[in-house]
Amino acid sequence: MTINQHFVQFLSKYTPTDAEKAAYSLHRQSVEAKLASSFGVQHFWETGSFSNGTGVRFHSDLDVLTSIPAASQRTNSSYMLSAIKTALEERFTTSPIYIRTPSVVVDFSGSKRVEVTPGYYKTSVDDNLVYEIPQLGGGWIKTSPWAHNKYVTGVNTSLGYKVKPLVRLMKTLKHTRNIPISSFYLELRLAKYCEGETSIIYEYDMLRMLNRLVADGLAATRDPNGITGMVSACNTDAQKQDALSKLATASTRVNNAINAEKAGRHTDALYWWKMVFDREF
């Protein structure tokens, strides 16, 4: 097999299956039913990696945005998160449930996690709904998953449908090497990088992206839709330093793999790709 064929096989392995999606769908329905009875929630959308086609099998959570009715709205987002956590604890008594702003996370069995983000409808921009969701400190921040998905899908289409697989590769690196970087940030940075490309070659574009992330110190990036504002890579400075160290290591290994492939050392190239993805390649 060529290195490119190995990439195709690897991507297939880490693409969520229909069975995995069906299992998440059942969890989503039970969460939705509880929030409907507790808060009168009528709108409940899947967002994030699964809805955008960049989810990673075995690792990605199911992200959902629940539209809290006006009667239940509160100024303090921390209060709303606590209220949702309490309601879900009443229903899922054996599942660990915790707050990870902006969401309440339910850890179902089989490593299936559902992240529930409460939101209030704010406005619409270019036919995309805009919601306010919790941010650290009890405040609220605007978001539009629909605008984000359209942006990434547009870049993906323009480059032969290879951008989303590239995002999946980078997210798989994040998960297999336990790199504490925001998946949303990673997806935005990759989509913005790919806008300036004319074609995608996975190994070379991974290397360029890794080098950019390290070179700019994981600087905050601007939402290209102008809705969310600046998006941070990590929650803390300690996480950022850890992420930068692991990304730099990954960059060295990818470079070694590319050089080995150029020199015709196929076995060495495979060795370095396995080092990139913690022996999973």
Q: Look up residue 125 and give its amino acid.
A: V
Q: What is residue 275's predicted lDDT score, i.e. its pLDDT?
A: 96
pLDDT of residue 125: 85
pLDDT value for 233: 94
Exposure b/e, 172-207, CB count within 10 A at least 16 = b = bbbbbbebbbbbbbbbbbbbbbbeebeebebbebbb
Dump pLDDT digits (tens) for 231-247: 999 989 999 999 999 99
209-233 per-position pLDDT tens digit: 999 999 999 999 988 888 888 899 9
Task: Judge whether residue 155 has pLDDT over 90.
Answer: yes
Average confidence score pLDDT of the chain = 92
CB 148 within 8 A of CB 225: yes
Q: Please, which residues bridge with residue 44 across strands?
A: 66
- Asked if 106 contacts 170 with a C-beta cutoff of 8 angstroms, the reply is no
Q: How confident is the model at residue 256 (pLDDT cuts 50, 70, 90)?
A: very high
